[in-house]
Amino acid sequence: MGHLCRRRVPARGIAVDPQPLVPRRSKVENGAVAEFRRARPEDLEAAVAVWERARWDARQPHMVERMQYTHEGNLQHFRDVVMRDCEVWLAVEGDVVVGLLALGPRKVDQLHVDPGWQGRGVGTLLMDRAKALRPDGLTVFTFQGNQEARAFYESRGFRVVRLGMSPPPENEPDVEYAWEPGADPS
């Protein structure tokens, strides 16, 4: 697989906080967050915190533990790879980062919503932003066992392109999806 935003080499030790961020406001008004904006260097810690909580909540703790990811390693990877190689957008409510989207030229590299904000339309708004920014089409990878992500992508017009294995160091069964204009469900 050719990944623009490469997956990282694992670091030693586990430091993942599985507790979701308690939102400052109880709900997203009209399914929208207050702000979508490009990530800035000072957003690194908040973006990584959402990324860690979402990955833990996506029932991937077995992989997080096996890979021995650390918070410091996650910060380094996000700063040195994701924010350098991808266009990173944040969904922000007040002063709280509630979701993130990392885009390559034709690929959704990362799409994560803080577990405390899931089910409120934030992921859909991030995906709509991705489609608007990449109107010629997108691909996305997720793990085959992540049924919630698979249902999310399929319900938004993505179709399975192939099943395979993620590259090292993860080596997990994955699925590649593609979205083309006009493919959205009715």
- Provide the pLDDT for residue 68: 73
Instruction: Please report whether residue 184 resides in a domain.
Output: no
> Which domain CATH number covers 63?
3.40.630.30
Instruction: Please report whether residue 18 resides in a domain.
Output: no
Task: Work out how many domains the chain is built from and give that number.
Answer: 1
Q: Give the domain extent around 98.
A: 31-179
pLDDT band at 75 (very low <50, low <70, confident <90, very high): very high
Model confidence, pTM: 0.78
Which of 4-8, 116-120, 136-140 has the lowest average pLDDT? 4-8
Listing DSSP states for the chain in one string gives ---SSPPPPP-SS-----SPPPPSSSS-GGG--SEEEE--GGGHHHHHHHHHHHHHHTT-HHHHHHHT--HHHHHHHIIIIIHHHSEEEEEEETTEEEEEEEE-SSEEEEEEE-GGGTTTTHHHHHHHHHHHH-TT-EEEEEETT-HHHHHHHHTTT-EEEEEEEPPTTT--EEEEEEE-TT-S--
pLDDT digits (tens, 9 = 90+) for 83-135: 999 999 999 998 899 999 999 999 999 999 999 998 899 999 999 999 999 99
Q: Is the pLDDT of residue 32 over 60?
A: no
